[in-house]
Amino acid sequence: MSEERNMIPLILTGIGTIIGTVGCLWFYGYLHFAKPEDALLLSDFTMLKTVPGEDYKISLTPAAQVAQCVDGVLVMFDTDQKGLSGVLVNNKKQAVRCMGQETPQLQQ
C-alpha cells in the first residue's frame, strides 16, 4: 500500500505561495526593499559654539554640501553627488528650522 506521491506540485505550490505573499506585501507597502541611498548618511555635522572674545579655527576649503532654507526647514544639497539632498535633523530626528523664511504655522 505504499503509494509514491509526486512532490513537484507541492514544491511549486509552496514557492508560488511565498512569491505571491511577498508580492502582495510589497504592493501594499508592508515590505520595502531598501536601496543603499535610502539609508545614506550624508555627513556628520558639529556645531561650533561662538563665544565672544574666543577664537576658533575652521578649514579654508568649503564643505561639499550647501544649505538652503525651504519652507522654514534647512535643506542640504550635496555638490559632489548630483540629486542627493536631505533635511538637516538633530539626533532625535527633529528638523532644523531656519530663519530665512517664515516657519509654517499650524492652521486652526
Strands of 85-87's sheet in order across = 65-70, 73-78, 85-87
Give the model's pLDDT for residue 80: 80
Give the model's pLDDT for residue 22: 94
pLDDT along the chain (108 residues), means of 10: 80 96 91 67 72 84 85 84 78 81 56
CA 103 to chain centre: 23
Identify whether the C-beta of residue 67 lies closer than 8 Å to the C-beta of residue 42. no
**Gap between the Cα atoms of 31 and 40, Å rounded:** 19
Identify whether the C-beta of residue 36 lies closer than 8 Å to the C-beta of residue 43. no
pTM confidence score? 0.47
Identify whether the C-beta of residue 87 lies closer than 8 Å to the C-beta of residue 76. yes
- Output the nine-digit C-alpha cell for 19: 512569491
Identify whether the C-beta of residue 37 lies closer than 8 Å to the C-beta of residue 31. no
Give the model's pLDDT for residue 89: 83
